[in-house]
Amino acid sequence: EISLNELLMGEDFFRAVQECYTVRYAGAVFSDFLWTMRSMYLPLFLTLGMRLPRADVYHCVATGYAGVLGSMAKRRFGCRLLISEHGIYTREREEELIRADWVSGIYKNIWIEQFKKMSKLAYDRADLVTSLYAHARELQIELGCPADKTSITPNGIDPARFTGLKRPEAMEPDMVHIGAVLRVTPIKDVKTMIRAFAYAKRDVPNLKLWIMGPTDEDEEYARECFDLVELMELPDVVFTGRVNVTEYLGGLDFTILTSISEGQPLTILEGYAAKLPAIATDVGNCRGLLYGENDDFGESGILTHIMNVKEIADAMVNLARHPVRRKQMGENGYRRVMAKYKISDMQQTYRKIYEMFENIDW
Residue type, 233: E
Which residue from 2, 34, 39 is spatially nearest to 15, judged by alpha carbons?
34
For residue 135, with 0-12 CB atoms within 10 Å meaning exposed, 13-18 middle and 19 or more buried, which class applies? middle
Please list, residue by residue across 282-291, b when 16 or more beta carbons sit within 10 angstroms of its beta carbon and e when fewer do. Answer: ebbbbbbbbb
The Cα–Cα gap between 88 and 138 comes to: 10
CB neighbour list of residue 274: distance below 8 Å, 6 or more residues apart: 162, 165, 249, 250, 252, 330
Give Cα separations from 104 to 30, 90, 111 (angstroms): 15, 18, 10
Between the alpha carbon of residue 177 and those of residues 107, 168, 197, 362, the distances in Å are: 45, 11, 11, 55
| Separation between Cα atoms, residue 95 and residue 260, nearest integer Å | 9
Q: What pLDDT, on the 0 to 100 scale, is given for residue 170?
A: 86
Q: What is the rounded (10 degree) CA torsion for 185, 189, 195, 199? A: -130
For residues 86 and 262, what is the distance between their CA atoms, to the nearest angstrom? 9
In the prediction, which pLDDT does 361 show?
A: 54
Parts of the chain belonging to CATH 3.40.50.2000: 50-152, 159-341
- pTM, entire model: 0.86
Point out the residues of the chain with pLDDT beneath 50: 362
pLDDT value for 117: 96
List residues bridging with 179 in a β-sheet: 210, 255
Output phi, psi for 24, to 5 deg.
-125, -25
Burial class (CB in 10 A: 0-12, 13-18, 19+), 280: buried
- The C-alpha R_g of the chain, in whole angstroms, comes to 23
Interaxial angle between packed helices 190-203 and 219-231, expressed in degrees from 0 to 180 and rounded to the nearest 10: 20
Give residue-wise pLDDT tens across range 19-45: 999 999 999 999 999 999 999 999 999
CATH 3.40.50.2000 holds for 159-341: yes
CATH topology of domain 50-152: Rossmann fold (3.40.50)
Residue 1's pLDDT is 64
pLDDT at 362: 45
Q: Which H or E element spans position 70?
A: helix 64-77
Answer whether 134's CB lies under 8 Å from 80's CB: no
Contact 155, 269 (CB under 8 A): yes
Beta bridge partners of 255: 179, 278
Torsions phi, psi of 150, nearest 5? -95, 150
Chain centroid to CA 326: how far?
26
What is the predicted pLDDT for the residue at 166? 92
189-240 pLDDT, tens per residue?
999 999 999 999 999 999 999 999 999 999 999 999 999 999 999 999 999 9
**Nearest residue to 232 via CA among 255, 201, 258:** 201
